[in-house]
Amino acid sequence: MSTTHDTTPYGAFPGTRPRRLRVNPAMRRLVSETRLHPAELILPAFVAEGVSEPLPLASMPGVVQHTRDSLRKAAVEAVEAGVGAIMLYGVPEESKKDAIGSPGTDPDGILQVALRDVRSEVGDDLIVMSDLCLDEHTDHGHCGVLDAEGRVDNDATLERYAEMARVQADAGAHVLGTSGMMDGQVGVARAALDGIGRQDVSILAYTAKYASAFYGPFREAVASSLKGDRKTYQQDPANAREALRELALDLAEGADMVMVKPALPYLDILRRIADETDVPVAAYQVSGEYSMVEAAAANGWIDRDRAIMETLTSVRRAGAGMILTYWATEVAQWLNRGDRG
C-alpha cells in the first residue's frame, strides 16, 4: 500500500491544468463566459408625491424616494451611464390612497406625472417602464381590489389593471410591468392597449413572482399599508414547475418579455425559464437582496463592490438578459470605467 503526494490517478502530475487559464486578469478576461453591460441594467426608482426633498430609505441605504425633480436627474444620470431602462414606482400621498387604488388610474396620479416628467427629460434615450400594480395606491396595500370578505378579487382587479394600462400608456410608458400576479393580467393589459391603438407599448410580465420575504425593504420604499401577506396570489417558493405554467400563460396572453423575481434565491427558476422561452428574460434583484449586501458591507463583513458584481454576474450567468437592480447606475459607471469585474 503506497501513498504519495506527487501522483494522481492520471499520472505523476496533472496534464490538464485549468489554473493556466486563471493566471492573470488579462487571461481571465479573455476566457470569461459572462459579461455585464450597462444596456441590460434596469434601474427601479421611487417617486413620492408632495415632497420637497429626496427621502433616504433607512432599510435601503443609498436609495431614496425621489421628488419629481430628483427623479428627472436620476433618469439623466442613468442615460449618461448607458443604463438600458428605468422602472418607475409612484408613492401617492397617504390621504389619496383608497380601497380601489384611485391614484393608479388618475391621469394626475404621481406615477403618471412621473412618467411624463421622465419621458420629457429622456425621450427615447432610455426605456421607461411603469409598475402596473395597485399596491402602492391602495389603502389596504394589496395588489388588487377586495371583495366583501376581504379577499383579493381577481376579475374586479383586472378591470382596474385595464384602466391602469391605458393611463400609463397615455403618460408615456414604453413598457408596462405587470407585477400584480392576478390571473389573466397580461391578456387584459394587452387588450386594453390594443383597444386604444397602442400596439407599440410592450408588456414585461412578472411571470414567476414569488411570495418573498426579500420584498421587505420595498414596503418601506413605497410606504406600503399592507397587513398580512400576498400568498394567495404570489407563487409559493417551494414550486418550480408552476413557474413554467405561468410562463405558458403569459406568453399565450401576449407577454413581450418575462421576468423572474426575486433573483438570487431563484436562479434555478431563471435557468429553466431562459431555457424554455425565446422571448427576452429579465430578473429582479429585489430590495432585500440589495439591503443584505449593503448591511453586511456596512459591518465590514463582505467586500461590497465584489459582492455586487458577483451577484449580478451570477444572475446573468443563470440566464437573465436584463437585470433590475438598485445598483444599476453605479454598476454601469464601473463598467464604463472598466475598473471592476
Contact in structure between 218 and 242 (CB atoms under 8 Å): no
326 is in an annotated binding site: yes
What span, in angstroms and rounded, lies between the C-alpha atoms of 327 and 313?
A: 13
Hey, which residues between 268 and 297 contact ligand PBG (CB under 6 A)? 286-287
Q: Which of 46, 161, 218, 233 binds ligand PBG (CB under 6 A)?
A: 218
Coil, strand or helix at 45:
strand
CA separation (Å) from 115 to 33, 89, 111, 208, 335?
36, 10, 6, 26, 27
Interaction of residue 43 with ligand PBG, rule CB under 6 A: no
Contact in structure between 40 and 323 (CB atoms under 8 Å): yes
Largest CA distance in the chain: 83
Q: How far is the CB of 104 from ligand PBG (least distance, A)?
A: 10
Q: Which residue in 73, 209, 227, 231 is the catalytic one?
A: 209
Contact in structure between 226 and 150 (CB atoms under 8 Å): no
Q: Exposure string (b/e) for 71-90, b if CB count within 10 Å is 16 or more?
A: bbebbeebbebbbbbbbbbb
96 as an active site residue: the answer is no
Interaction of residue 215 with ligand PBG, rule CB under 6 A: yes
209 as an active site residue: the answer is yes
Q: How far is the CB of 240 from ligand PBG (least distance, A)?
A: 19
Binding mask 227-266 for ligand PBG (x = CB under 6 A): ---x------------------------------------
Hey, which residues between 113 and 172 contact ligand PBG (CB under 6 A)? 131, 133, 135, 143
Q: Which is nearer to ligand PBG, 80 or 295 (CB)?
A: 295
Q: Which is nearer to ligand PBG, 51 or 226 (CB)?
A: 226
Q: Cell triple for residue 28?
A: 481571465
Q: How far is the CB of 23 from ligand PBG (least distance, A)?
A: 39
Q: How far is the CB of 215 from ligand PBG (least distance, A)?
A: 4
Q: How far is the CB of 54 from ligand PBG (least distance, A)?
A: 18
Hey, which residues between 174 and 203 contact ligand PBG (CB under 6 A)? 179
How many Cα atoms sit within 13 Å of 181 on the Cβ side? 20
Q: How far is the CB of 260 from ligand PBG (least distance, A)?
A: 13
246 is in an annotated binding site: yes
Interaction of residue 40 with ligand PBG, rule CB under 6 A: no
Q: In the complex, which residue's CB is closest to ligand PBG?
A: 218
Q: Cell triple for residue 268?
A: 434555478
Q: Which residue in 97, 227, 231, 261 is the catalytic one?
A: 261
Q: Which is nearer to ligand PBG, 132 or 274 (CB)?
A: 132
Interaction of residue 63 with ligand PBG, rule CB under 6 A: no
In this structure, the chain runs to a length of 341
Q: Exposure string (b/e) for 246-266, b if CB count within 10 Å is 16 or more?
A: bbebbbebbbbbbbbbbbbeb
119 is in an annotated binding site: no
In 10 A of CB 243, how many CB atoms? Answer: 22
- Beta pairing partners, 205: 178, 258
User: Which positions are annotated as active-site residues?
Assistant: 209, 261
Residues of each annotated binding site for Mg(2+): 246
Which spans of this chain sit near ligand PBG (rule: CB under 6 A)? 131, 133, 135, 143, 179, 215, 218, 230, 286-287
